[in-house]
Structure formats: structure tokens, C-alpha cells
Structure 1
Amino acid sequence: MTNIFSSLKDYLQMKLDDEPKNPLHVGEVMSCWMYLALMDEATVYVQIGLNTTNDDEVRKILTESLKQCDVQGQRFKEFLKIEGVHLPRTSEQRPNSDPNGVPLGVKMTDDEIMNGISMKTAAAVMHCAAAASQSIRNDVGMLFTQCMLEKMKFGTEVKEVMRKKGWIKVPPYYYPPGMPNQQ
């Protein structure tokens, strides 16, 4: 059975090779610029989380997120430099510190850290999907599609840890009028 994502990748790659390289349109530039800023700011959040937690599973997720943000950020930095686009200014990187030295009134809980990572991951996936669908150039669409798939895969790992630890925040269930009782 053909995998839909590999088919999409093959199709876009085929079209990418034949495509003339027009300049990026303002929407593509803005989408790339915003995603790079999102990755750089997420990196700072992850560094703060690493400086706060002692939980091994949370540290593993944060370390993986840090690597992914760095890889994806580098992709966009290289792409934007080639296209002649100035890079966004972002927050300063955080130095390593001892989680036990962080005062309790300042320290994020593991639940807060993981919910923040979950929200940032969901925001990245939605941004990538919107940007890929609005891109005219196939190379831009491909860049966002690749990042989206990586973030979706990572999001399933985050959800698994959050479910295991009981940290998923679930909105109230909706029961439409007239729905039979589900016992």
C-alpha cells in the first residue's frame, strides 16, 4: 500500500526539480520568518524547562525538542539567507543551571512544562500546514511539509508521556441533545 506522505513527497520533489525559482512572495517570507522565530523562542522555553525539571521522561522529551528546534531552525536560517531575507531577532539562549536551585515560586511544574511543549508543538503543526498550503513555490511547501510531519511525530511522543502522567488537559465533553445514554 502506498504511503500518502511518501507519495506527496515524491510528487513535490518531481515538481520541485522542474520549477522555475521565482522570488519568494511576501506570504512565504512571512511564514518562513515566523516559523524561524517560533523555533528560536521554543528553544528558549525548552532551555528553561531543562533548567527546571528533574523528571527523566520530561528531560528526554525536552532534549529531543531542543534538537528538533535546532535542526528545523537551521534549515530555515540557511534557506532565508540564500533567499536574501534578514533573520528575526530572538531571545537570548539560557545557560544551564541546577533545577534544585530554582526557587519554588519561579519553578515551572513538569505538568506546566509539558503542556507548554504540547501547545508549542500544536502551534508549529498548524503554522506549517497553513504555510505549506499557501506556498506557491514547491521548495517552500516541501520545507514546511517536512517540518510539519516531524512535529506531528514528536507530538505523539509528547501526548504519550502526558497521558501516562495524567497531564493532558481535556475540555468538557459535549453531549448533544437527544443523544442516547452511553453507559
Structure 2
Amino acid sequence: MTNVLEAVSAIIKNFIDEAPKPPLHVGEVMDLWTAFTAFHEAQALYQVGLNTTADQDMVHVLQNALEGSKADTKKIEEFLLKEGVPLPLVNPTKPSSNSDAVPEGVKLKDDEIANLISAKVATSITFCAQAMSKTVRTDVGLMFFSIQINLMKFAAPLKNIMISRGWLRIPPKYNPPGLPEKR
């Protein structure tokens, strides 16, 4: 069985390998396109949230999310353009508005905003891991790894706010058939 340190060493060596880079394969381009598009959609969600919340903690969370998403999207954009890949079409940014001007029924509640963001971030973390596992190019894998780390750093404080406010939606406990009853 391989020693843990040998395994970690092999992984790190793979990521810092200076071998010539092969052209991007179609899966890498598709994953980069998908991430670029999804992150732009997330930015629209963050902007809508900023336009509808008056909660200062949520404003802070949304501003951090928007900033981080823009930085990650810019990395992908620059990489795609450097590789000669045209960018996918994305929606324009949302204009700023006053949360008091948004009518009820249209306005998202703070718990809805938090849960939408939480689901989007969880999906993005999983997507980055999946994309990283398929890539042949070390630089693409490192980019997805870096984005995944940024998402995880953002997810922890969001989860803490959701727990403290009672917004975290937890599924019911699962009791598999045949599980002994607890007394």
C-alpha cells in the first residue's frame, strides 16, 4: 500500500509539473464554459439579493460573494482568452436598487437568499471537484482547485449565519429499515 506522504508528494508533483501543456480538450473547455456561465448567473443572484435585503449581515455576505465570484470569473475569462477560446454569452449585470422599492411578492426573503446561495455554492464546489478530476492540464486543475477553495472559504461563514438565524434547511433524519430502535 502506498504511503500517505508518497501519495501527497505524487499529487503535488503532478500539479507543479512543468511539462509542455497539451491543447485543452473538449471536456476542459466545456467545464470552463459551464463555470464561467454559472458564476455569471451566481453574480446575478448576488445582485438581486443585494437589491432585496436590508439585513446588514446578508449585505456583507452578498458583497463578499459577488467580489469572490467576479475574481474567479475573471481568472476563467483571462485563461479562456489566452487559450483562444471564445467566451460564452452571459447576461448583463443587474442595476442597483433600493430594497424598499422592491414590492412584496417579488422580493426574496433573507432565508430564501441564503438558501439559494448555499445551494449554488454547494453545487459549484462539487462541480469544481468533478471538473478537476477530468482535466488533463495541470493549470486547469489548479484553477478549479483554487476556485473550490475560495468557495469553501465563503461557505463556512454563510453556514454559520444560516444556523444562527434558523435559516438552514435540514432534511429529516433517515432511519434505514432494520436499524435497531434506540431506547
Instruction: Tell me the TM-score normalized by structure 2.
Output: 0.91
Alignment partner, residue 131 of structure 2: 131
For residues 7 and 116 of structure 1, do their structure 2 counterparts lie closer, same or farther at Cα, with a shift above 3 Å needed? farther
Asked whether the equivalents of residues 16 and 138 of structure 2 are also in contact (C-alpha less than 8 Å), the reply is: no
SS of the equivalent of 1:51 reads: helix
Counterpart Cα distance in 1 of 2:102 and 2:38: 26
Task: Report matched runs for 1:123-162 at 5 Å.
Answer: 123-162=123-162
Superposed CA deviations along residues 73-119 of structure 1, whole A, max 9, x for unmatched, are 00000000000111111112111110001000110000110001001
RMSD of the alignment, in Å?
2.0
- TM-score (norm. length: structure 1): 0.91
- Provide the residue aligned with 2:33 in structure 1: 33
Runs of 4+ aligned residues of structure 1 deviating over 2 Å after TM superposition are 6-14, 176-183
Q: Distance in 2 between matches of 1:150 and 1:182?
A: 41
1:128-176 CA distance string (max 9 Å, x none)? 0000000001000000011011111211111111111111111111112
Counterpart residue identity of residue 16, structure 2:
M
- Name the counterpart of 1:14: 16
Report the Cα offset of residue 179 of structure 1.
3.1
Question: In 1, Cα distance between the equivalents of 2:14 and 2:41?
Answer: 30
Q: Percent identity?
A: 40
Does residue 87 of the first structure (1) align with residue 113 of the second (2)? Answer: no
1: CA distance, partners of 2:141 / 2:15: 10
CA contact (8 A) 1:9 1:142 kept: no
Map residues 104-123 of structure 1 onto 2, 5 A cutoff: 104-123=104-123
Please list, as runs of the form range in 1=range in 2, the aligned pairs for 1:32-111 lying within 5 A after superposition: 32-111=32-111
